Amino acid sequence: MAQNIYDDDEFFEAYSRLPRSVNGLDGAPEWPTLVEMLPDLDGTHVADLGCGYGWFARWAMSAGAASVLGIDLSEKMLTHAASRTSDDEIVYQRQDLEHLELHTDHFDVVYSSLTLHYIVDLDGLFREVHGSLRPGGGLVFSVEHPLFTAPSNPSFVDLPDGPRVWPVDHYLLEGPRTTDWLAPGVVKQHRTIATYVTLLRRSGFELTAMVEWGPSDAQIAEHPSWTVERDRPPFLLVSARRD
């Protein structure tokens, strides 16, 4: 069973105060880039892996999707998400993404935002997603960037008489990383960019786009402190297509 930090009271309280929880997609700085990587959703069947509060599910319906299946492990998230919609074409389902089961040849788009870096068996998940897509269907996802997850001490440091730097070590040492993000002892899975590419290829996907996300000039003008995110991108965005 996967770690279920989102049902931890302390974590959930802190998470619920994040800009992306309060303001939804507009509170996620990478959203304008991620949305450009999505195909036209008109008439499509969509799945959202790690759907959280359901912001994306509701947006996808407003963008013309025929149906959205939102999957999450957290009872709390699913309860919140369900309370926010009365649309019969949005279905929420509790599943452990480590043992995901989806209808085959069914979806046009599978989406996942900042969830897959928690998954140990990503190979298995990519295979299940590939089988669940119709030919020509697409997977679009974001994860924490490998540069973000790699270090043993993931915080910027000011070098003596030097610049502020992101201290990279263990980049090629893949596996669990335990951090104190919102609550102590959160476990993420560090993988290199090449491993994401390799696992996608091995599952039968063709890679169609990759973005190492950093803030735009307009975002930096509004939030000058975000400039450091250009020193070390926080998010990796990927789209892939079932051959």
Residue ranges in contact with a copy of itself by CB under 8 A: 147, 151-153, 157, 159-160, 162-173, 192-194, 197-198, 201, 206-212, 214, 229-233
The least CB distance from residue 134 to a copy of itself, in Å, is 20
**What are the structure tokens assigned to 206, written together?**
């063709």
What 3-state DSSP class applies to 79?
A: helix
CA gap 29, 20 in Å, rounded: 9
The smaller minimum CB distance to a copy of itself, of residues 99 and 164, is found at: 164
Closest CB 20 distance from a copy of itself, rounded Å: 21
Amino acid at 150: A
Phi, psi of 23 (to 5 degrees): -105, 0
- How far apart CA 108 and CA 241 sit, in angstroms, is 10
- How, if at all, do strands 45-49 and 67-72 pair? parallel
Query: What is the three-state SS of 94-128?
Result: ECCHHHCCCCCCCEEEEEEECCHHHCCCHHHHHHH
Q: Nearer to a copy of itself by C-beta: 135 or 163?
A: 163
For a copy of itself, the closer CB: 129 or 200:
200
Three-point CA angle 83, 89, 93, nearest 5°: 60
Contact 193, 146 (CB under 8 A): yes
Q: How far is the CB of 143 from a copy of itself (least distance, A)?
A: 13
Q: Least distance from C-beta 153 to a copy of itself, angstroms?
A: 6
Least separation in angstroms between residue 105's CB and a copy of itself is: 23
Q: How near is the Cβ of 200 to a copy of itself at its closest, in Å?
A: 10
Beta bridge partners of 49: 71
Nearer to a copy of itself, 26 or 231 (CB): 231
Q: Which is nearer to a copy of itself, 173 or 221 (CB)?
A: 173
The sign of the CA dihedral 55, 128, 177, 231 is: negative
